[in-house]
């Protein structure tokens, strides 16, 4: 199939690359050089040093979507994590618009998307002084790692074989813009409410792996800033970073 150049909505400034170490790192370099404006979107067909959350690597062969968006949101740094949930909803909706009906997608805290029981997408939000945010999104379109700690899948594996990374980029950009505008105009409340409607494991027993310990409890909801509320025998605990597992 011939490669085509995707056409995101006009606000985005697309930087297309065949390969790069990490689109997040490339976006940061552009911001540092003063060469980039807000809504610059770095998209690469492959990454040689793709990164995931908590310093993990992100397998990045050709066929999947790897993109990083430069944003300069007018919000205090403490609220920036909310944009990860905005991105999660955009990925969820983008996938929903392209996969055959009947495939069940879920939001997994904090910003992953699952198809069935397996992870199909992840988000890596990083800050870049002064005031820049880099929103990195990876979606397993055609390929997925078979040795990931949390089981992974791809859109193709789940039956959406005709979908290409370019289609997914365009859909993600459209949905992200809509959700981002909603967040800017109405705040985190509608994002949080929508995310909770689609959340996997809500009101169920989960375990959460933190640095140096794993804790269990009931996934009772999200705090006003996106922290996970874990209801345990000793009371509620707010968790701002970790990996959750369903039991």
b/e map 188-201, b = 16+ CB within 10 Å: beebbebbeebbbb
Those residues whose C-beta lies under 8 Å from the C-beta of residue 243, and which sit 6 or more positions away, are 54, 150, 208, 209
Instruction: Note the Cα 20 to chain centre separation in Å.
Output: 19
Contact region for ligand BTN (CB under 6 A) — 46-54, 170-178, 189-197, 201-209? Answer: 46-54
Residues 193, 222 contacting (CB under 8 angstroms): no
Give yes or no for residue 136 binding ligand BTN (CB under 6 A).
yes
Distance CA 84, CA 104 (A): 21
Give yes or no for residue 6 binding ligand BTN (CB under 6 A).
no
Those residues whose C-beta lies under 8 Å from the C-beta of residue 115, and which sit 6 or more positions away, are 95, 99, 103, 104, 105, 153, 155, 158
Tokens of residue 25, six digits: 């790192």
Give yes or no for residue 23 binding ligand BTN (CB under 6 A).
yes
Contact region for ligand BTN (CB under 6 A) — 73-81, 130-138, 166-174, 187-195? Answer: 130-138
- The minimum distance between CB 186 and ligand BTN, in angstroms, equals 26
Binding marks (x or -) toward ligand BTN, 24..43, rule CB under 6 A? x-------------------
Give yes or no for residue 88 binding ligand BTN (CB under 6 A).
no
Give yes or no for residue 68 binding ligand BTN (CB under 6 A).
yes
Site for ligand BTN, residues 94 to 123, rule: CB under 6 A? 112, 122-123
List of residues contacting ligand BTN (CB under 6 A): 22-24, 47, 50-53, 56, 58, 66-68, 112, 122-124, 136-138
């Amino acid at each position: 199939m011939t490669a085509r150049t995707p056409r995101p909505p006009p606000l985005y400034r697309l930087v297309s690359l065949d390969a790069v170490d990490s689109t997040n790192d490339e976006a940061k370099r552009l911001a540092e050089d003063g060469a980039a404006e807000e809504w610059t979107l770095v998209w690469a067909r492959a990454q040689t040093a793709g990164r995931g959350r908590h310093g993990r690597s992100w397998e990045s062969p050709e066929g999947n979507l790897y993109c990083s968006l430069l944003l300069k949101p007018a919000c205090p740094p403490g609220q920036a994590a909310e944009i990860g949930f905005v991105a999660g909803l955009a990925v969820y909706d983008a996938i929903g618009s392209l996969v055959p009906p009947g495939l069940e997608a879920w939001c997994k805290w904090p910003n992953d998307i699952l198809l069935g029981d397996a992870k199909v997408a992840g988000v890596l939000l990083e800050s870049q002084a002064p005031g820049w945010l880099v929103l990195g999104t990876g979606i397993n379109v055609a390929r997925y790692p078979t040795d990931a700690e949390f089981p992974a899948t791809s859109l193709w594996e789940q039956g959406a074989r005709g979908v290409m990374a370019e289609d997914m980029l365009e859909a993600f950009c459209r949905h992200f813009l809509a959700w981002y505008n909603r967040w800017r105009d109405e705040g985190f409340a509608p994002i949080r409410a929508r995310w909770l409607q689609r959340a996997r494991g809500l009101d169920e027993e989960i375990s959460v792996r933190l640095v140096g310990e794993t804790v269990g409890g009931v996934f009772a909801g999200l705090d006003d800033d996106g922290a996970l509320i874990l209801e345990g025998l000793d009371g509620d605990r707010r968790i701002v970073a970790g990996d959750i597992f369903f039991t």
